[in-house]
Chain A
């Protein structure tokens, strides 16, 4: 059965106080007005110019006065709906829940059968979509690995694999460039049926900016196509302290903020009211090898600050969690870091959050990892919920009824509430199968993964829709080649 159990935080974790938030906002506005952001797209530059921004066509740098930024951002909605193709899969983003998704987009897979490390392919996306459809931690789906067997059409085939195996909302993080984006919109329109994509956005998109202070040509041009079609678009800044950003968290946040905001402003110029969202993933580098480091306390603080900053602009925040620099599932390090990323983001009120199921800095798909992350997610979901101190949650009448020295085991209140206490399944399985009497936790996770893969049957895409998507893929191949 397809289910979604979203996280709802009853806490309000903040790392920036009002004054600090204002400092970062002012720094960002200063950078946008005085330093600018490079938009390597003639179309984007023309649009900025038409609307009166300061555009230097030679350097492709756009500078935006504070008033310009604030007026445009004022048009972005604080909440919007993401459409899934089954009842109960619609997500009201910005409505107080935190919806989690898979991680992406990896390039290697630990083979489902042989366990060998190999290049990723479309079938991996399909299998993971099916498992994600089942897991209640997953509210929407990022195609987890690249469909490398389809060349430059990989992003479209990732969507095909996703829609065919999952009824939940799909967000692409790989569709880049105008051409691919147009075909992606066509595919999304098949899922939305006769309805306007604005009403039923069956697809959303996440585009990465390039630090420092640049947009990616293909990324921003895809984003413009999406905005025109009414597809929600998010922008993720990924500044690295010391290399692509100053070696201070505040500077990295400011750079990422300026990149994302400049792109969101462009979306509002193209189609005022376009749903947009913001994400900032600050990282560090190894000071000698320059290796990408994400397991840093500063990064975790920045995750929370980024949520605050998105909300300060009046748009939803996307949190990036899990998917850290680990080569092995089920390590103590993974447990530690998931708390700092996923739990801290959740407690800060992130609206959508990606990251379940990948290792090696989101490049390696390890099948059973999503089962570990699912369990950690549910831990966090309960933690974020807080405690119930209402009448039923204290049950003083039951305490009175049992009295000193008795027990609560035979009480009907216990019977009806004991099941509310969530018990981690991997560490406390109800039954241990014959072939795992020594309780190997990785085997437990793998068994569960295999069982879902073998038994779960997502509601299939209608025959006509499948056919239409096949036609779109064929047209794309004839048009663009592989």
Chain B
């Protein structure tokens, strides 16, 4: 086994990881996913080797997802059966995605691998994020922000009966074929292995393909993330790549965040979850689109770029990625504060005074 250089931890690095972990946890607790994508580059910026950063990120994600799932299950938002079925198929997607990654790395090296990841980011986030955002804006314009109804695709899925594959899911209040949930779980895992956030497919798929409401979909995604995270952590820890100190420091911040994010879901209208997801996805898409020319240039598929320009574009890209996370967190905190004020005004005894 190769010898790994684990970094020396100092208080400044610790506080930095704690804060990024908190903001990431807040987003994950609210939309079920999407808070961890910035952690791998954040750790690498401290000098942590890439594989250790990925492994340690994974090791903080599964306990975070567990705590978030338990919390949101108490609010009646989790469909455990759906989470486990999709989680297991996502595990297969993770293994397949990791295999593709290895093949691309062998064929095109680190730059080719980075290009593949960035193109996947831009394509998936552009299409799915654009769709989520369009749906959110339309719901806001039509004033249909209070309740969500299954769309045409979900209604079609509900109408399909394939003998021997039908399973009852409490979140849908009906039986649907697992031949729909398994590929969606697989795609979630595939994306998780590629861009570290499977929920950018998992949550919209549960909403638009299966017809689940946003609250249930984002909460159930935490179960999927837990199942994927345990499997991924074992895979990386088997090779000794996990830096447990880094993982637990990030977890320290993210558990504060995930509790707050989960509480926030009880104060907002369901469309706010889509809004946060759409904003994060589209901002991250811009961030990753910026570095694609850099990788194309390094592969000599575009004219060479000055090292200073490459460095600048990578720095701007990383800053926009952090901005995406903080934008999402800002919307969540604003919605939480407004929701608490409204609830407080309606029933002062319930919210303002915990002693009652």
Question: Do the two chains bind?
Answer: no
Which residues of A come within 8 Å of B, CB atoms?
A: none
